[in-house]
Structure 1
Amino acid sequence: MDDKPESMRGAADTGASLDRRAELSEFLRTRRARLKPEDVGLPDFGRHRRVPGLRREELAQLAGVSVAYYTRLEQGNGRNVSAEVLDAIARALRLSDAEHSHLTHLAKPKQHKKKPAKRTEQVRPALRQLLDSIDGVPAYVSGRRSDILAWNRMAAAVFGDWSELPAQERNWARLVFLKPEYRDLFVEWDQKASDMVAFLRMDAGCHADDPRLSALVGELSLKSEEFRRLWANHDVKEKSYGVKRLRHPLVGELTLNFESFRLSDGTEQVLITYHAEPGSPSAEALRLLASWGADATKAGAAGAAGATGTSGA
């Protein structure tokens, strides 16, 4: 029996692309299934529903399109669909901004097609210098597919010395789902895992023809039951800031605020920093880690070490 998601079958072993039509179909179906009639102002007469969520005809009515038209779209046929229709469907489905963007990428890929990523993403020397100059807070750069591209000493002190990992393993998704020590590191591991999969879903919507991304999803689908379950949900979201609670093996629990800064140079790289509230126990713990300095950690850069890249705070 093949346990991989429908849109991923064949990708793990062949490097094939994700099936964009299947992605569109499954995304619309799962978004429709999460809505109840009362959520969108429709009467619920208590009739038994064979499947959860709104019926196709109810969704079509809300979006102002014919049932046949919406059915074709949910079957993955987004050919010639207009932006106005997608906007109407997004409103009917109560999509978030991130979900709306994802729907548009899936349905109208030609309008969003980007150049394929280079085999090895490079971090600009000036950006590596900036990382090195940030002494007191963990900071790193990620690129496509959640790969970790470059980091400073404090990031190594908090998250582990990534320079000791093979280049292909410097990837947040692999660390979160395949490395037991990262399950221990994140106090709210379930939330981290959910956020990681939601990020990869966004990336897949933009780059469904990326064989390296589909190979990553295929690998994780084969090796992690939790990843398979989360991937099947088709959730997408973007988190540019928030709070992470970590269980550090040396200094105990850390509560850190993170901020993500997307670079405007067209690389899709993101600079992510973590900081503690001034005067907090976590701030003192970071100060202690910083005082150990080079004895305990090493900074790194993918450009020098050969890693490749994506984001995920």
Structure 2
Amino acid sequence: MTPDATETRKTEIHKLEDVVDLGKFLQARRARVNPGDVGLREDARRRVPGLRREELALLAGVSVDYYTRLEQGRAKHPSDQVLDAVARALRLDETTRAHLHRLAGNSRLSPMQASAGVRPSLQTMLAAIDGFPALIMNHRQDVLASNRLARLLYGGFGWDLEANPNFVRLLFDDDSREFFPDWESVCSWETVAQLRKMAALFPDDTAMTGLIGELSVRHRFFAELWARAEVKDCNIGSVRFDHPMVGLLELYKDQFRVADGSGQMLVTLTASPGTDDYDKLALLGGAG
């Protein structure tokens, strides 16, 4: 194994620990809490960002020893009450609080089993969608299938959806910034936050681990975003495209998760009839 390959493998192993390790998640989130925001005096002598362990323990109402054991993985089966108190101290939202419980093994959700194939019924549904872009992705955001308008939309950027690419890899290619006006503030941040959530749901997926390790090595900004330990559902929201054929285009994204535990989702990009964006989609469809 070459030195570069060895280093990449070490990074992949580290990222796997980052995905499934409760302590590493707590450390990352603790470092993000501003002491002044939770009523503590900001001390210029602080050597590391965020809260100290004893400060977080105080805010959560647990002993410093217990919280230290929790971060070090020595506190087995923490109660829901303790985890909720820690979540409040860390100022976690509902999605991230659920992620914390999942890492601690307190979630009612069992790890999911990925499925590589798209069910025929989903293929039929996708083929019937004609007036707006639609695609099916898995939990790693590999494009499994797409309709004609989706291929035309992304094909304008040189992306070949029929080759089943990984959307995260495409997004972090340097050239993708010019296609998405909100690349840094919306696209990349939300994509990484969703990837982290799915990585915890599929902890045994070595392909997911490899993807995270690869992107962390290749893209510094991805590594920085991953280190923030954000967890997010990105089921709805608008996405702006700067398309070479029709110009600026704002579409509304919906993600519909397939309720079979496969991690697959149907993603649609729509515009309201009578708007410029709707007309641009029609123009794009007619040009293809």
TM bracket, shorter-chain basis: 0.7 to 0.9
Question: By how many angstroms is 1:16 displaced?
Answer: 9.1
Identify the residue that residue 189 of structure 1 maps to in structure 2: 183
Identify the residue that residue 300 of structure 1 maps to in structure 2: none
1:29 aligns with 2:27: yes
Give, in whole Å, the separation in 2 of the partners of 1:155 and 1:95: 35
Show structure 2 runs of 5+ residues with no match: none
Question: Is residue 139–residue 151 contact of structure 1 (8 Å, CA) maintained in 2?
Answer: yes
Deviates more, 1:281-290 or 1:29-38: 29-38
Letter in 2 for 1:245: R
Change (3 A) 1:78 1:151: farther
Query: What is the root-mean-square deviation in Å for CA atoms of aligned residues?
Result: 2.7
Letter in 2 for 1:90: A
Letter in 1 for 2:27: R
Identify the residue that residue 301 of structure 1 maps to in structure 2: none
Alignment partner of 2:86 out of 72, 89, 92: 89
Percent identity of equivalent pairs: 43
Change (3 A) 1:267 1:117: closer
Show structure 1 runs of 5+ residues with no match: 297-313
Question: Is residue 34–residue 52 contact of structure 1 (8 Å, CA) maintained in 2?
Answer: yes
Alignment partner of 1:39 out of 37, 40, 51: 37
Question: By how many angstroms is 1:25 displaced?
Answer: 2.3
TM-score of the aligned structures, taking structure 2 as reference length: 0.87
SS at match of 2:140: helix
Identify the residue that residue 97 of structure 2 maps to in structure 1: 100
Question: Is residue 20–residue 103 contact of structure 2 (8 Å, CA) maintained in 1?
Answer: no
SS at match of 2:268: strand
Letter in 2 for 1:70: Y
Give, in whole Å, the separation in 1 of the partners of 2:225 and 2:15: 20
Deviates more, 1:240-249 or 1:68-77: 68-77
Question: Is residue 17–residue 211 contact of structure 1 (8 Å, CA) maintained in 2?
Answer: no
1:228-255: CA deviations, max 9, x gaps?
Answer: 2211221111121111110111111101
1:272 aligns with 2:270: no
Question: By how many angstroms is 1:24 displaced?
Answer: 2.2
Question: By how many angstroms is 1:176 displaced?
Answer: 0.7
1:74 aligns with 2:79: no
Give, in whole Å, the separation in 1 of the partners of 2:61 and 2:215: 39
Give, in whole Å, the separation in 1 of the partners of 2:42 and 2:171: 44
Question: By how many angstroms is 1:266 displaced?
Answer: 2.3
SS at match of 1:272: strand
TM-score of the aligned structures, taking structure 1 as reference length: 0.81
Change (3 A) 1:102 1:237: same
Give, in whole Å, the separation in 1 of the partners of 2:210 and 2:59: 38
Give, in whole Å, the separation in 1 of the partners of 2:48 and 2:15: 30
Counting only pairs closer than 5 Å after superposition, residues 198-217 of structure 1 correspond to structure 2 as 198-217=193-212
Question: Is residue 23–residue 72 contact of structure 2 (8 Å, CA) maintained in 1?
Answer: yes
Letter in 2 for 1:131: L
Question: Is residue 141–residue 269 contact of structure 1 (8 Å, CA) maintained in 2?
Answer: yes
Question: By how many angstroms is 1:22 displaced?
Answer: 7.3
Letter in 1 for 2:124: Q
Question: By how many angstroms is 1:73 displaced?
Answer: 1.4
Change (3 A) 1:208 1:266: closer
Identify the residue that residue 279 of structure 2 maps to in structure 1: 284
Change (3 A) 1:110 1:84: closer
Identify the residue that residue 145 of structure 2 maps to in structure 1: 150
